[in-house]
Amino acid sequence: MKAIETCDLKKYYRSVRGIDGVSFSVEEGDFFGFIGPNGAGKSTTIRTLLGLIEKDGGEARVFGLDAAREKEKILTRVGYMPSDTIFYSGMRVREVIELSAKLRKKDCKKAAEELCERLDLDKNKKVEALSFGNRKKVGIVCALQHSPDLCILDEPTSGLDPLMQREFFNILEEKNREGMTVFLSSHVLSEVGRHCRSAAIIRNGEVIACDSVRALGHTGVKKVSLSGFKGEIDLDGARDIKREGENVRFLYSAPPKELLSVLSGLEFSDVNISDPDLEEVFMHYYVKEGGAK
Amino acid sequence: MTLYLHELKRGRLSLIIWSAALSFMILICILIYPEVGSQMDEMSEMFANMGAFSEAFGMDQLGFGDFLGFFAVECGEVMGIGGAIFAALMGISALSKEEKDKTAEFLLTHPISRTGVVFSKLTALLTQILILNLAVGVITALGILIIGEEPDGKKVFLLLLSYLILQVEIACVTFGLSAAIRSKGIGIGIGLAMALYFLSILANITNELEFLKWITPFTYTEGAYIVENVSLDWKYVAVGAVLTAGGIVLAFLKYRKKDIL
C-alpha cells in the first residue's frame, strides 16, 4: 500500500495558487524527500494531507484513506512536525508532551522519556523560554513519541545545531528501519540527498520530478570538472560554469559521445565526469522548466 | 475530555479574576444597602421621575428603597455589563485564539475531529460561565444573609438566572463569530456586548425603537419585569434561544470547513 498518494491535487487561496495539480506517491517504509524552494507548495501539500486545509480539486490519500473525509483515522497513524513549532504559552515542556499523548489517547511516557534524553531536552522549562531549536526538539518528541506509521516533517532541522541534526536523523533512520515511513519536506538538498531514498521536486505548485534519489541524478546532465585548463569554455549545452584558477566546473547537457568529442579538442591535465549532486539536479529541473528565480 | 479540561485549565486565571471581581462588586453593592437604603426612600421618588433616564434603566418601575429594587438595578448593571463582557471575551476568543496564537496547527494535527474541538470548547465555555454565576450566586446569598434582608428568594433567583441566560446567549453568538475570524477579536466581543447594552437603553427610551427589544438580550434581564411578574419575559428569552442556537450552529458549520493557514 502507498503511504501517501496524491493525484492532480489543487488548492487556491482565493485566486492565488497554492498547488496546481500535485501528483506523487510515497511507498510504505520509504524515506521520502519533498524538495522545493519557499512558496513552491510544499506546506500547502502537507496541510492538505493532514486535513488542515480543504483541497479545491484532485485526490489526496494517506494509507488509502481520503485525507478530507477520514482525517481522524489518518492522524492516529501520523506524526507531524511543523516548520514553525508553537505551543501553548505558560505550559512546561512536560505538559505539552503529555497533552499531545493524551490527545492521542496513548501512554507514551517511556518513548517520550527516551526521546527527551537523546535530544537533551529539559522537560521542566516553560515553552516560551525555549530557543527556536529547543522548540523544534519538543516538536520532534510530539511527532514521534506515539510511534507513528508515517512521520511528516516540514523543514525539521532549521534551528537545530549540527550535533542535534545528526542525532535527529539517527532517530529517524532507526524508526524508518522499524517500518515508519518518513516524509521530509526540505529545501536543504544535502540532507535530502544524504538520507532519502526517493524524492519529489515541486515547482510553482506542480511536482516536476518524482523518483528515487539515484534515478533523479540521471538527468542526461553530467557534471564536468577540468583541472589544468587555461582556455575558455565556449560550448553549446554548457552552463553553471565555475572557475577557480585553472580548475573549471560546469554542467553539460548533450549526448555523451558529443561531450567526449568536444573534450578531446581541449587542453587540460585531468578530467572528472560524474552525475550531478541533488542540488545541481534541482537547479537542472528549475532551469529546464524555466522556473529558476 | 482532554481538550475540555485543557480549555478549563487555560482559562482558569481569567475565570478566577472575573468571578472575584464581579462577586466583590455585587457583595459591596449588597453590603452598602442598609446604609443607603434609608436615604433611598427619599431618593427613589426622584429616581423614578427623571423621565427618559429613569425609563432607560427601569427605575420608573422599581423602588430604590426596596432591597429587590436596589438589587435589580445595581447588581443588574454589574452582572449585566460585567457578565456580558466576560461572556463576549471568552466566546469570541474560544476558537480564534488557536489561530491567532498559532497553536491550531498543533491541536488539529492530533486525531480529534473539528466537531470534537468545537464541542469541547463550547462545553468548556459554558462551564466557565456557569462557575462564574455560581460564585456570584453564593456571594449574593452570603451578602443577603450578612445584611439580614429577607427578599423573595424566587425573584433573586430569577434575576440571577436572567443574567446567566444573557451571558450564555452572548457567549454562543460570539463563539459562532469566533469560528469565522482569525484574530482574537477582542474588539468585536466587547463592541458587541456594549452595543447590545446600549440598544436596550435606546429601546427603553423611545417607543419608536421598541423593536430593538427583540434584538438585545438585555431585554429579558430587566429587573422591573422580573420583580413585578416573578417570571422572565419568555418571548424575549425564546428569541435569545434562537440566536444562541444560531451561534452554535454557525460555529460547527464554519469551523468544520475552515482552512487553518
Residue A198's φ and ψ, nearest 5 degrees, are -130, 160
The answer to whether residue A286 is domain-embedded is no
The answer to whether residue A287 is domain-embedded is no
pLDDT interval class at A103 (50, 70, 90): very high
Whether the CB of B107 is below 8 Å from some CB of chain A: the reply is yes
The answer to whether residue A114 is domain-embedded is yes
Contact A95, A109 (CB under 8 A): no
Give the pLDDT mean for B222-238.
Answer: 90
Query: Is it the case that residue B229 has pLDDT exceeding 70?
Result: yes
Check residue A287 and give its pLDDT. Answer: 65
H or E element, residue A44: helix A42-49
Query: Residues A181-192: pLDDT tens digits?
Result: 999 998 787 888
Check residue A44 and give its pLDDT. Answer: 94
Check residue B213 and give its pLDDT. Answer: 85
Check residue B43 and give its pLDDT. Answer: 64
Chain A residues whose CB is inside 8 A of the B260 CB are: 47, 52-53
The answer to whether residue A92 is domain-embedded is yes
Check residue A173 and give its pLDDT. Answer: 95
Provide the pairing of β-strand A31-35 with A198-203: parallel
Check residue A116 and give its pLDDT. Answer: 95
Check residue A255 and give its pLDDT. Answer: 76
Interface of A with B in 127-146 (CB under 8 A): 142
Chain A residues whose CB is inside 8 A of the B261 CB are: 13, 53
Q: Do A160 and A54 share a structural domain? A: yes
| Residue B200 in grid coordinates | 436596550
Q: Do A269 and A208 share a structural domain? A: no
Q: Do A211 and A227 share a structural domain? A: no
Cα separations (Å) of B160 from A6, B68, B72, B178, B255? 56, 12, 9, 26, 32
* Percent share of chain B, pLDDT over 90: 58
Q: Do A263 and A241 share a structural domain? A: yes
Give the pLDDT mean for A32-42.
Answer: 90
Cα separations (Å) of A210 from A235, A286, B24, B220? 30, 14, 67, 65
Q: Do A166 and A76 share a structural domain? A: yes
Q: Do A226 and A204 share a structural domain? A: no
DSSP label at residue B79: I
Q: Do A192 and A226 share a structural domain? A: no
Residue (of B83, B89, B64) closest to B221 by Cα position? B83
Contact A127, A145 (CB under 8 A): no
Task: Mark which of A200, A215, A230 sits at the end of a domain.
Answer: A215
Query: Is it the case that residue B58 has pLDDT exceeding 80?
Result: no
Interface of A with B in 100-129 (CB under 8 A): 100, 102-105
Query: Residues B140-195: pLDDT tens digits?
Result: 999 999 998 888 889 999 999 999 999 999 999 999 999 998 887 889 989 998 99
Query: Residues A70-101: pLDDT tens digits?
Result: 999 999 999 999 988 899 999 999 999 999 99
Count of pairs with CB atoms under 8 A, one residue in A, one in B = 61
Q: Do A232 and A192 share a structural domain? A: no
Query: Residues B12-47: pLDDT tens digits?
Result: 999 999 999 999 999 998 998 888 766 766 666 666
The CATH number given to whatever domain includes residue A258 is 3.30.70.250
Task: Mark which of A197, A215, A233 sits at the end of a domain.
Answer: A215
Q: Do A207 and A224 share a structural domain? A: no
Q: What is residue A24's three-state secondary structure?
A: strand
Q: What is residue A199's three-state secondary structure?
A: strand
Contact B201, B182 (CB under 8 A): no
Got the DSSP string for A45-114? HHHHHTTSS--SEEEEEETTEETTTSHHHHHHSEEEE-SS----TT-BHHHHHHHHHHHTT---HHHHHH
Q: Do A92 and A48 share a structural domain? A: yes
- Indicate yes or no: CB of A53 within 8 angstroms of CB of B260: yes
Question: Which residue would you say has higher pLDDT here, B136 or A287?
Answer: B136
Task: Mark which of A215, A232, A263 sits at the end of a domain.
Answer: A215
Query: Is it the case that residue B108 has pLDDT exceeding 90?
Result: yes
Check residue B63 and give its pLDDT. Answer: 61
Residue (of A197, A190, A195, A185) closest to A45 by Cα position? A185
Provide the number of structural domains found in chain A.
2
The answer to whether residue A291 is domain-embedded is no
Question: CB-based contacts of B162: which residues, under 8 Å, 6+ apart?
Answer: B220, B221, B226, B232
- The shortest CB-CB distance from B110 to any of A53, A85, A103 is to A103
- The shortest CB-CB distance from B111 to any of A13, A75, A99 is to A75
Question: Which residue would you say has higher pLDDT here, A238 or B257?
Answer: B257
Q: Do A207 and A122 share a structural domain? A: yes
Cα separations (Å) of A87 from A76, A122, A139, B107? 20, 15, 9, 9
In whole angstroms, give the CA distance from residue B105 to residue B94: 15
Chain B residues whose CB is inside 8 A of the A46 CB are: none
A47 lies in which domain range?
Answer: 2-215
Q: Do A67 and A90 share a structural domain? A: yes
Check residue A293 and give its pLDDT. Answer: 40
Determine the angle formed by the axes of helices B33-48 and B12-31, rounding to 10 degrees: 80
Check residue A96 and give its pLDDT. Answer: 96
- The shortest CB-CB distance from A86 to any of B2, B102, B113 is to B102
Check residue A292 and give its pLDDT. Answer: 44
In whole angstroms, give the CA distance from residue B7 to residue B5: 5
The answer to whether residue A91 is domain-embedded is yes
- Indicate yes or no: CB of A86 within 8 angstroms of CB of B101: yes
Provide the ipTM.
0.82
DSSP label at residue B68: H
The CATH number given to whatever domain includes residue A75 is 3.40.50.300
The answer to whether residue A292 is domain-embedded is no
The answer to whether residue A249 is domain-embedded is yes
> What average pLDDT does the structure give for chain B?
88
- The shortest CB-CB distance from B102 to any of A54, A84, A100 is to A84
> What average pLDDT does the structure give for chain A?
89
Question: CB-based contacts of B142: which residues, under 8 Å, 6+ apart?
Answer: B27
Contact B78, B163 (CB under 8 A): no
